[in-house]
Structure 1
Amino acid sequence: MEHEWITSGSDGNGMAVDGLGGVRSAPGTVVRAAAEGPAALAIMGDCPATHHELHAALAAVRAGYWAELTRWAGSYWVVADNGRQQFVCGDLAGTRAVYYTRGGQETPWATTADLLGRPLVPDLPHLAARLAAGEQHWPHRTPYEEIRLVPGGFGLLLAPGAPPQLLDIACVEPVEDLREGAERFGQAFTDAVQHRVGAADGPVGADLSGGLDSSAAVVLAAAAGPVHAVTYTDGYTSGEDMAFAARVAEHTQVQHTVAAGTGEQLPFSFPAGQPTGSEPVLEAAMYAMDAAYLRPVRGLPLHLTGHGGDIVLDASGSCWVRLLQDGRRREAHRQAVAYARLRNTAPGPYWKALKDAAALGRAGSLERAAEVLERGPLTPRSAAAGWSWCRMGAGASWLTGFGRHQVALQLRQAAGDWQPQRADDFDQWAALRSVGASARGWAPYGGALGVRAVYPYLDNQVVRAAFAVPALARRGLVAYKPLLRAALPQLPAWLTARRSKGSFTAQRIAALARHHDRLDALVSASPLVTSGLIAPAAVRTALGQAARGQSATAIADLHQLLVTSWWLTGHSTPLEAAC
């Protein structure tokens, strides 16, 4: 995936795509196309559609039934033209992105931002807003000025003389309950894993962390072909994770390699030679760890991951906000209080946060957040209990007065943008796009390591099957990820009964202590600081406390700030588009 691209024609070194004369692809990229008269269709990526199926789909192209072109298994880009309109899209999760610019007579688009033919200038106020309030409020924004992104779940529709149009292609067909949707999800996920293993015609790599998501993928893959599973462990790794990984490997009889990390593999080392990538992603901090444990599977045809399983198999407390929005207050209270008590959380504050979210709605929550920012400095505090449309974390307390004003402006703009108004719909699509962004952002790292990662949980048909099941049904009170257990009854009961989940918090704390001085200098030199958006003294205090294990609540925001600051060191001056 890291070497594949397709564009509307701004790059002169590309190859013309059959039937789509204005569209070009990277030399050596496999593009399958079909054309008949004015109708043309091209698919690029991981898609098992046959030549006959592509030709049959030309009927949908002629009729303008664009979403029908996204229903094959796998993960891929689609470009189609019927002589009146051109349609282009990636996948629902956004692992295969489409970028475009607006203005002028035409709308150039490409699958990488550097092919749009304009300088790549980092949008610093927007990067500060992501740090302070999360990325979910701006699904169409990129880290660059004047460059837009087609959000996951949408396609780009272009017609001569008309402005670009975003077309909803989600096409989720809801079911009533978990039981009704489980079989469809199980089949979709099994196909997503096993068609890839079968097509590889040889051993494939796979992550095996010991968690439910990667373990389920390994079990299914092992039934379809040879698998080499890899696991990372160090002095901070959960012993339970390692025990489950070993048990899954024994159960499936796959080849299993365990990499034992040292202090050199702790996060935030940013070793020399690490690729920068086109956008900041949290995984950038884990490059040394990735290089260590993925070395045994370098060069294999593909590498299966469990990335995205948390999103499609589970749901957040937004499902109880949805109950409140639907007027089902008693049911919402009963379930939310039971959930809080099971997790030793005070039910009162948890319930109040949910009620506030339902009462304010998305736009009201963003307006309130903007007011809080403009009122004055924020003090660092623990994250509020319960789900929120707009959670202002530790990153918001690091903003200068200028930074608070800039972020408030963007929140107010976002409040007027269209987004789902039902809490569970908003949250699951926002979470899906976030994991999709991290997957596509990891592609240059995978390329440097000789690993082609694939993400079966993020395939279109897998996402549709999961999101068809109500979020409330996927949010198990007692059973963890009940959809997985119901959809794949062949999984061993000892695996699906697991309720815990591993974490890299201990590694991150140790890494902040180990690299403290260098990270402090990195932040101080960051364009976010030198432009006056972030106050370095506030970050320095949070960094010191986290390195001493005194402020675990700030670690996630520190992680985001550090990778963004590191990424900006390679993008602090405008980058000319690649030729």
Structure 2
Amino acid sequence: MAETAGQRFVCGDLAGVRALYHTPHGDEQVAWATQARLLERPLVPDLPLLAARLAVGEHHWPHRTPYEKIQLVPGGFGLLLTPGAPPQLVDITGAPLVDDLGEGAAQFGQALAEAVRRPVRAAGSEVGADLSGGLDSSATVLLAAEAGQVHAVTYTDGYTSGEDASFAARVAGHARIRHTVAEGDGQQLPFTFPTDGARGDGPVFAAANWAMDAAYLAPVAGLPLQLTGHGGDVVLDASPACWVRLLQDGRRREAHRQVVAFARLRNTAPGPYFKTLKDAASTGRRGSLEHASEVLKRGPLAPSITASGWSWCRLGAGASWLTEAGRHQVATLLRQAAHNQQQPEQADVFDQWAALRAMGASARGWAPHGQALNVRPAYPYLDNQVVRAAFAIPALARRGLVTYKPLLRAALPHLPDWLVSRRSKGSFTAQRIAGLARHHNRLDELIVSSPLVGTGLIDPAAVRVALGQAARGQNATAIADLHQLLVTCWWLSGHQAVLEAAC
């Protein structure tokens, strides 16, 4: 925070791990705090916004929170407060851009190494670290082991990737660190929620993994910090939005060449994929949101509606669960979001900041669960200097075709080749299907009793069909949306009394 000439400027971090909330307070005054509950009592959940996030994602409203009357300063912005004037968001993302991966890799490597080693050295004793076996957590563990003592922990069960577990063991052996593997069973499957009431300031995916987290993090409880690879995908890689940006810049031939190469590596047809990207480029952010709004108003939507490639506004399975009233309320919110002047119109810039803020929201949302488990997470990939160094490199340069996450190899050339050459990545789909099947009846009750259903925003019959299919492994495309719906319903269950009083 800084004050000068009667003005006050406050900001958090680029990813939004440390949130900054604000709300009107009296005549032309603004109150701000790092916790929403310090600004308003009682806090009333914003049900239409939560329904909209389920239907089209949370990134269209970066300034809004799950609560009525409470606003959020998005990651990458600061809040300028001037007496007698409305609050003003100030962009703090500025960083010099480099031309290519080679030019920016060294700076990124230095930033990441320091973001890992600094807290390890400051701890002065053994620290904990997640080690899934993926590139992000593995690189973090290897860097940490160069600075101090590390106790790495890994979770595995009959549904997780055996290849991931093998890589985790190899990394731990290479680093010569203490390594504990938790072997879970049915009791640790997803969708076992915390019972301590620690819900945080919004619904987060990780709330459904409470039993798994409690099992594998127990050996490192009480240590000074717990390093994670959370956010690595965002800074080390880029989405197909970078090809949309090529099309926006008139570089159609280059975009087509890269898309064809991408499709061939995955043995898929490039034509339909490329058409989706062309549509996104020609329609733009505002046009895409307005089109999605019109589609919702016309409704109802088919449960199987999907979009290949990259989209500014994806109407997924969650959109098909909206009632007519729900569709109209979400359509209104989308029309409002379409005119947000502070959202980037370049596809790659929009996407990387949306993804980064989602990672920040997930990290801060997990904070109360970490406290309950006596774990102190650290997120080196979300460090300000790491983010700035990564985003200074064009998204197109970070997007790997043949090489997976080429920035990691270029930035940390001393990492073992057998690790950075890896192109595969474990999936948790089978684990989530098993969790949905095991907890099916309880999850069905959670949805039916939700205020989203009670206020007529979500159709329980439509969700029940999707839940049953997913639990039988027949509808994997709906699993992510179901996961988000379930953690939202669980989070709302902690606000039942407030919602009943508000009605």
Matches of residues 75-474 of structure 1 in structure 2 within 5 Å? 79-102=1-24, 104-273=27-196, 275-381=198-304, 383-418=306-341, 419-474=343-398
Question: CA shift at 1:172, angstroms?
Answer: 2.0
Q: Which runs of 5+ in 2 are unaligned?
A: none
Q: Give the CA deviation at 1:242.
A: 0.5
Q: What amino acid sits opposite 1:174 in the alignment?
A: L
1:265-316 CA distance string (max 9 Å, x none) = 0011124325222210000000110000000000000000000000000000
Tell me the secondary structure at the aligned position of residue 59 of structure 2.
coil
Which residue among 415, 439, 442 is the counterpart of 1:515? 439
The answer to whether the 8 A contact 1:274-1:287 is kept is no
Secondary structure of 1:101 counterpart: strand
Query: Is the deviation greater in 457-466 or in 265-274?
Result: 265-274
Is the deviation greater in 498-507 or in 475-484?
Answer: 498-507
C-alpha displacement at 1:340, in angstroms? 1.7
Q: Please tell me whether the aligned partners of residues 274 and 445 of structure 1 are also in contact (alpha carbons under 8 angstroms).
A: no
Is the contact between residue 188 and residue 211 of structure 2 (CA under 8 Å) also seen in structure 1?
yes
Whole-Å separation in 2 of the counterparts to 1:83 and 1:355: 49
Query: CA separation in 1, counterparts of 2:154 and 2:404?
Result: 22
Which of the pair is proportionally richer in helix?
Answer: 2
Which of the numbers 555, 562, 572 marks the counterpart of 2:486? Answer: 562
Deviation at 1:428, TM superposition (A): 0.2
**How far apart are 1:368 and its partner, in Å?**
0.5
Q: SS of 2:54's equivalent?
A: helix
Deviations 1:344-366, CA, capped at 9 Å, x for gaps:
33211100100000010000000
Query: Residue 574 of structure 1 aligns to a residue in which SS?
Result: helix
Name the CA distance, whole Å, in 1 between partners of 2:427 and 2:219. Answer: 23
Letter in 2 for 1:363: R
Give the Cα–Cα distance (whole angstroms) in 1 for the partners of residues 351 and 195 of structure 2.
37
Corresponding residue for 1:476?
400
Runs of 4+ in 1 over 2 A off after TM superposition: 102-105, 271-274, 572-575
User: What SS does the aligned partner of 1:267 have?
Assistant: coil
Superposed CA offset, 1:202-237 (max 9, x none): 000000000000000000000000000000000111
Q: State the shift of 1:483 in Å.
A: 0.3
Task: Provide the TM-score with structure 1 as the length reference.
Answer: 0.85
Superposed counterparts of 1:517-536, under 5 Å: 517-536=441-460
**Bigger mean CA deviation after superposition, 342-351 or 201-210:** 342-351
Structure 2 SS opposite 1:138: coil
Q: For the Cα contact (< 8 Å) 1:512–1:543, is it kept in 2?
A: yes
The 2-side partners of 1:353 and 1:115 are apart by 44
Helix, strand or coil for the counterpart of 1:573?
helix
CA RMSD in angstroms, aligned pairs only: 1.1
Query: One-letter code of the match for 1:102?
Result: P
Per the alignment, residue 428 of structure 2 pairs with 504
| CA contact 1:154–1:167 (8 Å) conserved in 2 | yes
Higher RCO (CA < 8 A, seq sep 6+): 2
SS of residue in 2 equivalent to 1:91: coil
* Structure 1 residue 377: Cα displacement: 0.4
Contact 2:28 2:86 (C-alpha < 8 Å) held by counterparts: no
The answer to whether the 8 A contact 1:520-1:540 is kept is yes
Q: Supply the distance in 2 between the matched residues of 1:345 and 1:368 (Cα, whole angstroms).
A: 28
CA contact (8 A) 2:296 2:331 kept: yes
Q: CA deviation at 1:542?
A: 0.1
Q: For residues 263 and 335 of structure 2, what CA distance do their matches in structure 1 show?
A: 32
SS at match of 1:231: strand
CA distance in 1, matches of 2:496, 2:454: 11
The one-letter amino acid of 1:157's match is: L
Following superposition of structure 1 onto structure 2, how do residues 10-49 of structure 1 map, counting pairs within 5 Å? none
CA distance in 2, matches of 1:330, 1:573: 57
Deviations 1:482-513 (Å, cap 9, x if unpaired)? 00000000100000000111121111000100
Structure 1 residue 459 displacement after superposition? 0.5
Residue type at the aligned position of 1:484: L
Deviation readout 1:495-553 (Å, 9 max, x if unpaired) = 00001111211110001000001100110000000000000000000000000000000
Identity rate, percent: 73
Is the contact made by 1:382 and 1:553 (CA closer than 8 Å) also made in structure 2?
no
Q: Deviations over 1:335-390 (max 9, x none)?
A: 01211221233211100100000010000000100010111200012632110000
* TM-superposed deviation, 1:85: 1.2
Q: 1:117, 1:370 → 2: CA distance?
A: 31
What's the TM-score once normalised by structure 2's chain length? 0.98
Structure 1 counterpart of 2:437, one-letter code: A
Task: Give, in whole Å, the separation in 2 of the partners of 1:427 and 1:568.
Answer: 28
Q: 530, 537, 546: which one pairs with 2:470? A: 546
Give how far 1:117 is off. 3.6
Contact 1:94 1:437 in 2 (8 A): yes
Quick one: distance in 2 between partners of 1:451 and 1:304?
Answer: 10
Structure 1: unaligned runs, 5 residues or longer: 1-78
Matches of 2:194 and 2:254, distance apart in 1: 51
CA distance in 2, matches of 1:366, 1:344: 31
User: For 1:392, what is the secondary structure of its paired residue?
Assistant: coil
Corresponding residue number in structure 2 for 1:488:
412
2:381 is paired with a residue whose SS is helix
Q: Which residue identity lines up with residue 473 of structure 2 in the other structure?
A: G
CA–CA distance in structure 1, aligned partners of residues 195 and 399 of structure 2? 42
